[in-house]
A and B are shown apart, each in its own frame.
Chain A
Amino acid sequence: GAVVSQHPSWVICKSGTSVKIECRSLDFQATTMFWYRQFPKQSLMLMATSNEGSKATYEQGVEKDKFLINHASLTLSTLTVTSAHPEDSSFYICSAGVFDYGYTFGSGTRLTVV
């Protein structure tokens, strides 16, 4: 149980375009989802907390207009990287939790902006 599916697993896009990443909880309802970013050889950095039916809470230094988060249902949250640039190339990971227990993470999305 507690499976989180993240799609796509990798994407290459041109500079200036937008990319949408989906995070789905397959066998449970997730009132809260989290989005992380990880650069090579670094730890995971929390970008934002996504709450179903309300606006996301962004961490300090994360541009909310650039990283659009939508959590329209209890099983789906999306992260859209708008006007992507090479410096946005990274590994993006989502996680989902309902009660305060062990969280489940998606398999991650490798974004390369060329």
Chain B
Amino acid sequence: DAKTTQPTSMDCAEGRAANLPCNHSTISGNEYVYWYRQIHSQGPQYIIHGLKNNETNEMASLIITEDRKSSTLILPHATLRDTAVYYCIVRAVAGTGTASKLTFGTGTRLQVTL
């Protein structure tokens, strides 16, 4: 799976949009971009994933550049409860009915402040 690079930490004011970047310059054509977050002392929580089109769900938006070498996770209105470590993970799809492993990098520690 392709390696990802994320900033170590970021701050965001409550109510503002949090934009978390991720570089994955060695991504392959069959690899998806996944985002998870981990709130302190809890298991990771799935946020969103995409292949090449921008994606949006109730939690966030995922913007993937046209060359797919980088992406940005957007939390449109950050709250204090969004304070967590955010992981960008790139992995290939193993095929229907099988599951391939997720490899976590160091992630970005997002601190949302008042």
Contacts and interface: CB of A to CB of B under 8 A. Distances in A.
Interface of A: 4, 6, 31-32, 34, 36, 43-46, 49, 91, 93, 95, 97-108, 110
Given A102-B46, A108-B42, A43 B95 contact: no
A8 B42 CA distance: 13
B29 to A, nearest CB: 15
Contacts of A110: 41
Q: What secondary structure prevails in chain A residues at the interface with B? A: strand
23 contacts: A4-B43, A32-B99, A36-B104, A43-B87, A43-B104, A43-B106, A43-B107, A44-B44, A46-B103, A46-B104, A91-B41, A97-B99, A98-B97, A99-B98, A102-B34, A102-B49, A105-B43, A105-B46, A106-B43, A107-B42, A108-B41, A108-B42, A110-B41
Given A32-B98, A100-B93, A105 B107 contact: no
Given A43-B105, A43-B107, A98 B44 contact: no
A110 B102 CA distance: 21
Contacts of B44: 44, 93, 95, 105
Interface of B: 34, 36, 38, 41-46, 49, 87, 93-107
